[in-house]
Amino acid sequence: MKVPHSKLHNPNVVPLSVIVYMAWRNLVHKKLRAFLTIFGVVIGIGAIFFLLSFGIGLQRLVTNEVIGNQSLKSIDVSTANSKILKLDEDTRQKIRKLPHVVRVGTTYSYAASLKLQGSEVDSIIYGVDENYQILANLNAVQGRLLKNNDNKSIVINRAAMESMGIKDQQSAIGKQIAVRIPLSNAGTDKKELADTFTIIGVIASGSGSEVFVPMHVFQLAKLKVYSQLKLEADESVNVNGLRRQIESMGFVTTSPIDTVDQINQIFKFFNIVLAGFGGIGMIVAILGMFNTLTISLLERTKEIGLMVALGGRSRDMRKLFIFEALLLSFIGAVLGIISAVIGGQIVNLLLNVWAQQRGVENSFNLFATPPLLVLGTIVFMLCVGVAVVYFPARRAERINPIEALRRE
């Protein structure tokens, strides 16, 4: 069976590569106009990307400062001063057996007084096990953390060390401090715990004075009710389900996820406001692109009419303008993103230098460039380009070649 020639090849179809080449050549031919149009897109996209990058970077910085090294998979369990519910060993075992629970840490916390070489300071003392230290992400900057079988060992934070007059954290290791813990309202026969402990480690957590001892110090005093439980879920997506199960028992739960959600909620509106300010420049870029494509259409009416008269299809003329707009959008978006990233790094460097001159030790990054933001910005600009070229492209598609050639 013989296939008609028109089925094998349509001579009126302009290859896509030719259309792209013609769009590119038109931009190159009108260098100044193309430059000004792309420059407008660079300013618009650069402003939006710069402000959104700043918003996301600031959000991450605030989240890291507030959450610190806490795991989003951790849950704190307390009784909210209830006189009926108790966080005892039975409760700990019940919670440990819940699905998706990886580990459970326990802690006692009481007010205490610390005495070293005649100086006495008030502090909070925690009786902890190894699981709690892991879940609380305690890190020793000097020495080591506690083990469950340690005897008369204590870990202090820098604030406690400095309040006792110890200047050097290395020299703090091995010093002995007298600890007194009032237990009048702790539900035990003992009125207080008093003993001497040897410092084995220094940590950097907390701005107030805090010290940590093995939990058996409180268990020997027959204290059966914990101050708090801290548990870890296997995955962060299971945290909310675990919290509902624990809260159904009557206990109160908190999680770093609550804080992250609040921060995200605030910055969601903040980023919208920033994008709105950047959108002012985007409006200018859109108007410039529309003006460029419209003028290009008016200048090339005869050319388009001739192409249609020679066999080109009307839809090919539409594609020509669409690709021209896409090239302007893509080049402008890429250059705008690069400019915004460079500008953000310069601003960030200057702010870090300024902060270090005023005593800030740790460096910070106020700008973030997640890949999704880069991709989303480029796709957004391409969509804007298609929207802007809609009317010029339709007009190019409807040009009557006879009238175009006669008018020209």
Residue pLDDT, tens place only, 185-199:
766 677 888 899 999
The count of residues in the chain is 408
Please state the φ and ψ torsions of residue 156, each to the nearest 5 degrees: -120, 160
* Ordered alpha helix ranges (H), 68-120: 89-96
Q: Which of 192, 117, 121 is nearest to 157 (CA)?
A: 121
- Amino acid letter, 32: L
β-pairing, 101-116 vs 176-182, is antiparallel
pLDDT at 9: 45
Using CA atoms, how far apart are residues 155 and 212, in angstroms rounded to an integer? 5
Report d(CA 90, CA 66) in Å as an integer. 33
Q: Of the candidates 293, 230, 219, which has an alpha carbon nearest to the alpha carbon of residue 103?
A: 230
Strand partners, 8: none
Nearest CA to 195 among 209, 172, 216, 210?
A: 216
pLDDT computed for residue 297 by the predictor: 66
**Using CA atoms, how far apart are residues 230 and 339, in angstroms rounded to an integer?**
46
- The pLDDT score that the predictor gives to residue 146 is 92
pLDDT < 50 regions, the chain: 1-10, 404
Residue 70 has φ and ψ, to the nearest 5°, of -70, 140
Nearest to 324 by CA among 34, 39, 62, 15: 34
Neighbours of 344 (CB within 10 A): 21
**In the prediction, which pLDDT does 246 show?**
92
Provide the 8-state DSSP code for 79.
-
The pLDDT of residue 166 is 85
Name the amino acid, one letter, at 174: G
Distance, in Å, from the CA atom of 300 to the CA atom of 64, rounded to the nearest integer, reads 56
- Classified as helix, coil or strand, 101 is strand
pLDDT at 7: 40
What is the reported pLDDT for 399?
59
